[in-house]
Amino acid sequence: MVAMKMVFMLSYCTIYSDFGIADLSAALLHGLSMDMAVGGYLMILPGIILVASSIVRCDVVDRMLRIYWTVMMAVLAMIELADIVLYGYWGFKLDMTPIFYFTSSPKLAMASAEWWMIPLAVIAWCAMWMAFSWFMRLMLRISPISDQLQRRSLTAVLMLLFTGVLILPIRGGLTVSTMNMSYAYFSPSMPLNHAAVNPAFSLLYSMGHQQNFGNQFRYYNSSDDAWQAAGHLLALEPGSSEACDSSMLGTDRPDIYLIILESFSAKLMPSLGGEPVALGLDSIANSGGSLLFTHFFANSFRTDRGIPSILSGVPAPPTTSLMKHAEIAENMPDIASVLRDAGYSTHYYYGGDINFTNQLAYLRAGGFGHIVSDKDFPISLRMSKWGVDDGPLFDRVAADILSAREPEDRSPRFVVIQTSSSHEPYHVPMETRHPEPAANAFIYADSCMTHWINTLAASDCGKDALVVIVPDHYGAWPKNLSFADRHHVPLVLTGGALKRTGTIDIYGSQKDMAATLLNMLGLDSSAFPLSRDMLDNRNAGYAFFSEPDMAGVINQEGVLTTEVLAGSDVSAGDTSVGDTATVRAFLQVLYDYAEMLRKQNR
């Protein structure tokens, strides 16, 4: 496992070449206790087998141990390889996330990979398995078990003693704290901490921290103490009538079209200081008929975590996806359910597999009545890795909604359109307009959306429409952005129903969309206690965002982040968002809220 850490750092030499030998050695040293813990777990069964050797034939013991180590080396090789491959995509150590994606939909879990990556991965896994197994066979050949079992009673006693002593490396020593992820976190540089973390332990740790929300991040004695500590972030009462700005809209009940863009970043728009990639969105945002939020942030890093942030006002916890927990997904509030009760018809359009990551159950529980996914398209249009390309998806929405002849007294619509073409591997049905495949995919997705919005504006439906454009999670391009910068995403409101235009400079995040949108409509948003109205002048403004090993809060004064697994903090600027307590208090509030949702079905 120590050797594989060296392979890991060599695999990402562009990152680790910036560090000296002392730093890289320190990563190996600080991760050694975690390696020993995994070694301790792996040695438990062999220890039990050796204890039983006093009554079992020696050749049987040899055979059992060889079979055991052959299987364990296969598993360990798979874990190490998966960690090396996935780190380049996600930037964090292996946890339950890819396993959840694979078990919910193997096809979509592999959609980001090119075809040649799969046989290459199999070859690499077999090579690593053979190397690991050869090493273990060498150890057994040097010290064959049959030569050590001449005095069986003494051997049984010693093996029982040694097996019991394995509790020390597994526990992490004799101190009060037990082995956890923070043991490997020693540096303010996250890549060094990631190099120190053992991927097998990271995976096991994630398995054991999936559902006990009420026991995680216990920084304060009670929920009330945590809410009080985060009080300046949660100060406004949701659903306040003072927050409703009647001048925002030209009609009480506009048709609402929420476009969720895959992986878009603020860095794709020149008006937000980015590259000239999403020029259609940039043009819409600065057309004079739109509202652009300049300091808006994504709460998380993957679609299944971003969608509940947008629709339910529940920011994604660092350690898990709430959507995959059925008992929580069924109880989360949802914009769709509030709008449905207010007389709206609710629609959801997505060109991919709607069952992926438990999404269909979440949408049904949230109040969506009409759901269109890949199975509703002809097979000829489902040829991309993620299902239907954005062009045919928007065409379907236009055919269903914009081109249909409807009675004048129809119900207002709430329509969500979730795109997917700007997801890796970035294969799009368009001629190359940018040398980088990712940027080219964003150009394609941007053009499809822009064409649809222009079609809407030119139709009879456009005059009473409110279009909300937001990404699903942090941006995928460009690479190598800072923690806060990669979470900076655009939020644009446009459409004929919108009266107030210009820019909004207050800080906010996806979780605040529920209160903001509902208050614009004069509807009650009290079911969204973590959501804040970004158009309320009393709102000081802040954004919360997280990844599996980091969480942060940002406002106009600066950004404060904390390594949630290690407990250390990094701040930038003379921030008024508070000190260490701010992020930690919000984390405890978030996990308390998740636990409350989980228990509602009991």
What integer pLDDT is reported at residue 599 of this predicted model?
75
Domain boundaries along the sequence of the chain:
2-208, 253-532
**How far is Cα 117 from Cα 273, in angstroms, rounded to an integer?**
35
Task: Assign 3-class secondary structure to 324-376.
Answer: HCHHHHCCCCCHHHHHHHCCCEEEEEECCCCCHHHHHHHHHHHCCCEEECHHH
Q: Which amino acid is at 537?
A: N
Predicted confidence (pLDDT) at residue 404 exceeds the cutoff of 60: yes
What integer pLDDT is reported at residue 577 of this predicted model?
44
**How far is Cα 190 from Cα 187, in angstroms, rounded to an integer?**
7
The mean per-residue pLDDT over the stretch 102-123 comes to 66
And the tokens for 44? 């438990």
What integer pLDDT is reported at residue 487 of this predicted model?
93
And the tokens for 132? 């690991």
**How far is Cα 196 from Cα 393, in angstroms, rounded to an integer?**
44
Bridge partners (DSSP) of residue 92 are none
Tell how far CA 330 is from the center of its chain: 19
Q: What are phi and psi of 478, to 5 degrees?
A: -75, 165
Bridge partners (DSSP) of residue 502 are 291
Lowest-pLDDT range, 236-240, 253-257, 503-507? Answer: 236-240
CATH topology of domain 253-532: Alkaline Phosphatase, subunit A (3.40.720)
**Is the CB of residue 417 less than 8 Å from the CB of residue 394?**
yes
Lowest-pLDDT range, 58-62, 313-317, 468-472? Answer: 58-62
Which residues in 524-556 are b (16+ Cβ under 10 Å) and which e? bbebbbbbbbbbbeebbbbbbbbbbbbbbbbbe
**Is the CB of residue 244 less than 8 Å from the CB of residue 518?**
no
Tell me: the pLDDT tens digits for 133-143?
888 777 766 65
Predicted confidence (pLDDT) at residue 243 exceeds the cutoff of 50: no
- For tokens 């930038």, the residue is 572
Tell me how long the chain is. Answer: 602
Q: Which amino acid is at 482?
A: S
Tell me: the pLDDT tens digits for 276-322?
999 999 999 998 889 999 999 999 988 889 999 999 999 988 888 88
What integer pLDDT is reported at residue 112 of this predicted model?
58
**How far is Cα 322 from Cα 589, in angstroms, rounded to an integer?**
15
Bridge partners (DSSP) of residue 275 are none
Q: What are phi and psi of 532, to 5 degrees?
A: -125, 140
C-alpha closest to that of 88 among 184, 181, 15:
15
The Cβ-side half-sphere exposure at 222, using a 13 Å CA radius, reads 3
C-alpha closest to that of 312 among 334, 328, 281:
334
With a CB cutoff of 8 Å and minimum separation 6, the contacts of 420 are 262, 350, 351, 352, 384, 386, 387, 388, 390, 393
Predicted confidence (pLDDT) at residue 574 exceeds the cutoff of 50: no
Omega into 425 within 30° of 0, i.e. cis?
Answer: yes
Confidence of residue 570 (pLDDT cuts 50, 70, 90): very low
Confidence of residue 442 (pLDDT cuts 50, 70, 90): very high
**How far is Cα 137 from Cα 125, in angstroms, rounded to an integer?**
18
Bridge partners (DSSP) of residue 415 are 257, 347
Order of all β-strands in the sheet with 345-350: 370-372, 345-350, 413-418, 255-261, 465-471, 491-494, 291-297, 502-509
What integer pLDDT is reported at residue 573 of this predicted model?
40
The Cβ-side half-sphere exposure at 173, using a 13 Å CA radius, reads 8
What integer pLDDT is reported at residue 513 of this predicted model?
95
* The model's pTM: 0.75
Predicted confidence (pLDDT) at residue 346 exceeds the cutoff of 90: yes
C-alpha dihedral over 160, 161, 164, 165, to 10 degrees? -150
What average pLDDT does the chain have?
83
Share of the chain above pLDDT 70, in %: 85
For 275, the 3-state DSSP assignment is coil
**Is the CB of residue 330 less than 8 Å from the CB of residue 365?**
yes
Q: Which amino acid is at 445?
A: A
And the tokens for 148? 């050590």
The mean per-residue pLDDT over the stretch 583-588 comes to 85
C-alpha closest to that of 296 among 499, 503, 501:
503
Predicted confidence (pLDDT) at residue 596 exceeds the cutoff of 70: yes
**How far is Cα 274 from Cα 236, in angstroms, rounded to an integer?**
33
- For tokens 């929300």, the residue is 213
Q: Helix 58-90 vs helix 32-51: angle between axes, to the nearest 10 degrees?
A: 160
Lowest-pLDDT range, 13-17, 107-111, 388-392? Answer: 107-111
Predicted confidence (pLDDT) at residue 568 exceeds the cutoff of 50: no
Tell how far CA 286 is from the center of its chain: 30
Tell how far CA 186 is from the center of its chain: 24
Predicted confidence (pLDDT) at residue 477 exceeds the cutoff of 70: yes
Let me know the angle formed at the C-alpha of 488 by 232 and 446, rounded to the nearest 5 degrees: 140
C-alpha closest to that of 254 among 454, 450, 499:
499
Cβ atoms within 10 Å, residue 406: 11
Looking at per-residue pLDDT, the higher value among 19 and 482 belongs to 19
Q: What are phi and psi of 347, to 5 degrees?
A: -135, 145
**Is the CB of residue 382 less than 8 Å from the CB of residue 374?**
yes
**How far is Cα 356 from Cα 359, in angstroms, rounded to an integer?**
6
Q: Which amino acid is at 118?
A: I
CA distances (Å), 478 to each of 269, 299, 561, in order? 12, 18, 22
Rg (CA), the chain: 27
